[in-house]
Structure 1
Amino acid sequence: MGIRATILNRIVAALLPLFLSCAMVQAQDAAKLDGLFDRLKTAEAGEASRIEREIQLEWSKSGSPALDLLLQRGKDAMTMGDYPAAIEHFTALIDHDPGFAEAWNARATAYYMAGEFGPSVGDIAQVLTLNPRHFGALSGLALILEETGKPERALEVYRAALAIHPHLQGAAEAVARLEKAAEGQEL
């Protein structure tokens, strides 16, 4: 038992710096995202677009070249309109890393594009569980709610997305459109 404990202690000692460096990288990434989101709330429209791209770049980092390749293959399949293949790639990615929110978001988008709203909403729920500030997932959910005849709920979700990203493309217009439609109903 003594030799086994010694070996385990050495393994832990060897791996400890790796775990600590990973934790430090995650903390740095979280701090970077926090700063980007702070800037996003007060940015002008042009600057907001640049910050949005930076946030999306951070979100798309899986930490693994193999997983990044699966993500890119899925995106390429979506670009080509091959939604079943995209869904397969994103599902494989989720199987390997179920904590990677952007994989869930990408699959939610592929499901939406394939006309499968139920699975898309399920994946959006997972995205928002992992990343509650994911304005893209909120916007996608609002779009689905609007398309499925739930304008009041869609309006709430669009407003939530705008609270995170005040210049989110299409969301302000959707809010104005839905508010106008709701006013017309009150007559």
Structure 2
Amino acid sequence: MRIRFAFLATLCLSGAVLPAALAPAWADDPVAPPVAATKQARLDQLFTDLKRERNEKAAERIAQRIWSEWSQSGSASIDLMMQWSQKAMEDQKYDVALDFLDQVVTLQPTYAEGWNRRATLHFMMKNYGKSMSDIDHTLHLEPRHFGALSGLAQIMAETGHKQSALEAWQKVLAIYPMMRSAQDQVGTLSEELAGEGI
């Protein structure tokens, strides 16, 4: 249950919106480089900062900024479908959410967060095979997606593959060292595996 809560908490972060005070200064710069280039540069810098940060709360703020970057599809229609899918998921209308997310990944297959959201939905529906397929798509597009890796770790744990779960959590920590839930899971799984003689 603790694992599932951590996963859903991570999902909730994906919808986080940054207050204007946290928006980068260059966001209003009329001479800024093209959006795709700046988005990638912003993500690269945020991931560098996330890896170096040793304060848990500061690391959480950086992670929220990463989720904010990931959530920007560049399309008002896709963003709207993502909002509708989130609302449907919250209301446990999983079939409705799935319809929206199927459209998202069809219309914008290079949008990693669309795949990740659908992976989360499949996880909630206990469609682990489909969730893992969507996680694979997400990680192909964004190998540093700690949310997708967390989902993979949880699927592995729920299906009894503790060693694979441990390895996935370790990958999360390589990207986001201060993620408390990942630290806890690495400790717990390491102890369990040691007790089983692995």
TM-score band by shorter chain is: 0.7 to 0.9
Q: Report the residue type matching 2:134 in the other structure.
A: D
Q: Which one of 172, 181, 185 corresponds to residue 192 of structure 2?
A: 181
Shift of 1:84: 1.4
User: What residue is the counterpart of 2:3 in the other structure?
Assistant: none
Shift of 1:169: 3.9
Question: 1:65-88 deviations in whole A, cap 9, x for unaligned?
Answer: 111000110011111111111111
1:32 aligns with 2:42: yes
1:167 aligns with 2:178: yes
Higher RCO (CA-CA < 8 Å; seq separation 6+): 2
Q: Counterparts of 2:96 and 2:58 in 1: how far apart (Å)?
A: 35
Question: 1:19-45 deviations in whole A, cap 9, x for unaligned?
Answer: xx9x82211111111111111112110
Q: Counterparts of 1:45 and 1:153 in 2: how far apart (Å)?
A: 26
Greater mean alpha carbon deviation, residues 74-83 or residues 130-139: 74-83
Q: Report the residue type matching 1:90 in the other structure.
A: L
Q: Report the residue type matching 2:44 in the other structure.
A: D
Q: Counterparts of 2:120 and 2:158 in 1: how far apart (Å)?
A: 15
Question: 1:92-125 deviations in whole A, cap 9, x for unaligned?
Answer: 1111101100000000000110111110000000
Q: Report the residue type matching 1:171 in the other structure.
A: A
* 1:1-187 alignment runs, 5 A limit: 24-43=34-53, 44-186=55-197
Q: Counterparts of 1:148 and 1:55 in 2: how far apart (Å)?
A: 29
Superposition misfits of 4+ residues, deviation over 6 angstroms: none
Shift of 1:163: 0.3
Q: How many residues align?
A: 166
Q: Report the residue type matching 2:89 in the other structure.
A: M
Q: Counterparts of 1:100 and 1:51 in 2: how far apart (Å)?
A: 21
Identity %: 40
Q: Report the residue type matching 2:104 in the other structure.
A: L
Q: Secondary structure at the match of 2:196?
A: helix
5+ unaligned residues in a row in structure 1: which ranges?
Answer: 1-20
Q: Report the residue type matching 2:174 in the other structure.
A: A
Q: Counterparts of 1:110 and 1:82 in 2: how far apart (Å)?
A: 10
Q: Secondary structure at the match of 1:170?
A: helix
User: What residue is the counterpart of 1:11 in the other structure?
Assistant: none
Q: Counterparts of 1:168 and 1:140 in 2: how far apart (Å)?
A: 14
